[in-house]
Structure 1
């Protein structure tokens, strides 16, 4: 009602249009949030009663180039998209040979405290000279619980897959401190629509060799 009164009281057309545009932007933002909530609920309804199938995997350390930054959870998707595109452009322009899918490491504080360190990386063959935000990194090896039924679709609904892995690690008392890990088998660099994205998700665990 306050917005309607402000529009009716506007002194000129320009002021009126600015008020309407601002209100429209707020409505569009709410629509995006509502659509994200709808997609999350649809994903929840379509999931198996047992959640994702889980397997264990040993991942060895690998040389890579990456972009690392402390980010807020609410900003992580937009930050991720920018970092992924920047790395892809660097690899393409320099003719660097990739040795595996692009991936990400995300500190557990991102889930627990809403802010933490994030690293997006590209495994590469040999050293590459750092430029700007891009640095040479060694992605550490890890024992992981991996969702065999990888996450399909936008990252806004990936919490459900993480939830399956977290419950599994807690139930079997095998969870350890360490970053959460993602491998982007298909991302916005490969396919046009978000619903065609495919992300493999890993949770750090303890696994004895015996």
Structure 2
């Protein structure tokens, strides 16, 4: 019989923590070769080190555990690896854009106000909306998924949107704090609702508005400019931040060409 390694020794061999090995056992990624029935001790073999190394490398590339399971389940992991390669390249592009944005932000002089502010009176409007809880790490993905879900619900009901999609952010979402998002489309007639997509009437409101041109990741200076303008002109923010997406990313390949209207309700 092949030599059995206690979990601590196998941890040293494959450079995975005991905690990680226990988790991978629970998730079905890497089962011990033997578990002692009386003590519950886990034992592994040297031949399992290659699988452990594959898991370690994939985790170092931030591959989700479910994708790792899929990659290791069959003889050909090409599709899973290709999907993750595309994901990594998109993340690299995003980080490169963020570095360029950071450089411009640092070089920007104090007091420069690159946004034009307008005040708008918005009438009440029938809308179809979906509310979801999200985190900073998955915000973009979740917003896109919510828009797709609302669009599908409208299509199934035969109710076309009559304006661009929008996002409302009732909560502050940052790296440490998740929160709610509300995505929606304006519609001409009341939407009857379909599962988590609901129909409602957005109330009339006065908003301070500006337009941001560029990647979504670079929109925060527009928030700051609006907030400063609102305070300087004696207004109060009376509702959550709103973003209206005036360009469709599916039809606008370069994020530098994205156009986003940013609004704060004021009183």
TM-score by length of 2: 0.62
1:51 aligned to 92, 106, 114, which one? 114
**1:17 corresponds to which residue?**
54
Structure having the higher Rg? 2
After superposition, where does 1:60-139 map in structure 2 within 5 Å? 60-107=123-170, 109-110=172-173, 114-139=177-202
Give the root-mean-square deviation of aligned CA atoms: 3.3
Q: Which moved more, 1:130-139 or 1:68-77?
A: 68-77
**2:223 corresponds to which residue?**
162
After superposition, where does 1:161-200 map in structure 2 within 5 Å? 161-200=222-261
* Aligned counterparts of 2:250 and 2:121: Cα–Cα separation in 1: 27
Structure 1: gaps (5+ residues):
none
Q: Which moved more, 1:33-42 or 1:101-110?
A: 33-42
Number of residue pairs the alignment of both structures matches: 199
Which protein, 1 or 2, shows the higher relative CO under an 8 Å CA cutoff with sep ≥ 6?
Answer: 1
Question: CA deviation digits over 1:55-77, x for unaligned, max 9?
Answer: 11111110011102344444432
TM-score by length of 1: 0.77
> Contact (CA 8 Å) 1:67, 1:121: kept in 2 or not?
yes
What's the CA shift for 1:46?
8.4
Structure 2: gaps (5+ residues):
1-11, 17-45, 64-87
> Contact (CA 8 Å) 1:97, 1:124: kept in 2 or not?
yes
> Contact (CA 8 Å) 1:175, 1:205: kept in 2 or not?
yes
> Contact (CA 8 Å) 1:101, 1:122: kept in 2 or not?
yes
Question: CA deviation digits over 1:81-116, x for unaligned, max 9?
Answer: 1111112233334432322221122115447x9444
